[in-house]
Structures are given as structure tokens and as C-alpha cells.
Amino acid sequence: MMFSIYPIPAFSDNYIWCLADTSTGKALVVDPGQAQPVMDYLKQAGLTLDTILVTHHHPDHVGGIAKLQENHPSVRIVGPEGSPFTNVTETVSHGDQIEWQAVRFSIMATPGHTLDHIVYFTDTLINDAPALFSGDTLFIGGCGRLFEGTPEQMHRSLSSLLALPDNTAIYCAHEYTLANLRFARHWLPEDAALIEFEQQCNELRQAGKPTVPSSLEKEKALNLFLRWDDPSVIKAAEAYGSEHGLSVTTATEVFAAVRHGKDHF
């Protein structure tokens, strides 16, 4: 089978990912917060929507589903069990697997941003790499703000993602990369790899191109929210914690300090 993947821009900085089986014209979309951009792209590309994947209940991820369902009454809607968003045809939880066009997705629970958050991973090669639809759990250079979960939960969720193959492509739901890198450079101003990556991402955005996807290998090396064992990040977190009255003695507390720092940057 031949697959293509395309980021459908929505709102000011959302990406609705469209995975298409070009041999059949069938399409799957992830987190359609708006319906019109999806319908416009499907029409332009000559695709038929048959599946929607939902990572969590926030309106900018599910707001377009009702209208898409009106236009595609038989659409399959997969979402997390126990979620406040209930307009689904199929609920899934951690450890479940689903199939779409011979692509098998593994479901991983990643509470933190919200309590119902899940991500979808497939080791089917799409653009020559496994794929992770990470929603608002893992961003390029960042992670989701903790609206419902705790630092402990998010640290555990992100830790679980580190076990995925290094070449996994990270298809997150927002173009937050430059903002995340500005914060990272503030904490680690001498980090040469961050300086180079920020320049690359600036060039992409100036050319009107997305910075997404990245690879898990690159995120492990660059993303402060995954570098709780990195001496330079630990040192910066300890300095920040001392200034703000935060204990920074464990990996979770290093992560919590980074998250607190980004929240107040």
C-alpha cells in the first residue's frame, strides 16, 4: 500500500494530520478541531474520510467532528475510554490496538496534559519511519501544559514514549516549536545543538513550511522536557528551583522545574 501524510493547518497553530491510502483514496484524520479545512483538503486531494482518531477532549482537537460526521455518516471515530468527549463510535485504552487500511496502531495512555490523553503509534513505515501521533503530549522541543494531570503523570507518560524506536516520526498537533526553542535557549544559551536546530526551524517557518515532524532521536537530544538526566538541564533546573522554592532532587522534579519554567517564561 502507498501512504501519504499531510498536515492540514487549523486555527492559528494546529495541525490536523491526514493519513491517506493513495491506492484506495481512503483517509484518516487525527484531532480535527475544525471541519472546513479537512473537508477542503479532502476535496482537493480526492480523498474519502473513513476514520477519525482522537487523542483527548479539548475543543481544538474535537470541535470539527460533529460536522464531519454529518458529511460522512459512516465515519469511524476512535477516542479514549472515559473521556469527557463521548461522540465516538469506538473507545480504546492503554494496550489496545486498532487497524486502518492494514496499518496497526498501538494505543498508549499518556495522562498529564489531560487525564484522558492517549497517543497512537504504528511501526508501519510512513515516509520511511514509524509514526507517533502525539497530540498535546509531546511537541517538538516541548510538551503539553499540565491542565489536569500532575508532573509525576506527565513524566511517566513521556518516559514511556522514550521506549519507542529512535527513528519514530513525531506528528504533534501544534506548531509550537519556535516558542519552545526560545525557552530552551533561555535555559541553555550555550547549547550548540539547540542553536543550530533553532536556526533550521526558523528557516523552515520563513519558507512557510512546518517544523513537524521531528524524530524521537532528535527530541531525546534537544527537548528539555525529555532531558531530565542531562547534567546541563539538571544544573539549570537546580538553579531555577533554588530561585523559585522548588525541590529538584529527582528526575521527576527536574521535569517539573522545566515545566514550571516554561509556564512562567
pLDDT score of 54: 98
Helix (H, G, I), strand (E, B) or coil at 65: helix
Do 183 and 155 touch, CB atoms closer than 8 A? Answer: no
In what order do the strands lie in the sheet containing 90-92?
A: 3-10, 14-21, 26-30, 48-53, 76-80, 90-92
Catalytic residues: 56, 58, 60-61, 113, 136, 174
pLDDT score of 166: 98
pLDDT score of 18: 98
**Rounded Cα gap, residues 167 and 131, in angstroms:** 9
Do 246 and 261 touch, CB atoms closer than 8 A? Answer: no
Rg (CA), the chain: 18
**Which DSSP symbol is given to 174?**
B
pLDDT score of 189: 97
Domain ranges of the chain: 3-172
**Rounded Cα gap, residues 242 and 247, in angstroms:** 8
pLDDT score of 99: 98
Q: Which residues are annotated as a binding site?
A: 56, 58, 60-61, 113, 136, 174
Q: CA torsion 56→265→219→16, rounded to 10°?
A: 40
pLDDT score of 36: 98
**Rounded Cα gap, residues 108 and 235, in angstroms:** 31
Residues comprising the chain, all counted: 265
**Rounded Cα gap, residues 21 and 101, in angstroms:** 7
Beta bridge partners of 105: 98
pLDDT score of 40: 98
Per DSSP, the residues of 27-95 read EEEE--S-SHHHHHHHHHHT-EEEEEE-----HHHHTTHHHHHHHSTT-EEEEETT-S----SEEE-TT
Low-confidence ranges of the chain (pLDDT < 70): 1
**Rounded Cα gap, residues 218 and 180, in angstroms:** 14
Please report, in angstroms and rounded to a whole number, the separation of the first and last CA atoms in the chain: 45
Backbone angles phi, psi at 163, to 5 degrees: -80, -10
**Rounded Cα gap, residues 129 and 116, in angstroms:** 27
Q: Which residues are annotated as a binding site for Zn(2+)?
A: 56, 58, 60-61, 113, 136, 174
**Rounded Cα gap, residues 9 and 7, in angstroms:** 6
Can you say how many angstroms the Cα of residue 48 is from the centroid of all Cα atoms in its chain?
Answer: 24
CATH match for 3-172 among 3.40.50.300, 3.30.70.1400, 3.40.50.1260, 3.60.15.10: 3.60.15.10
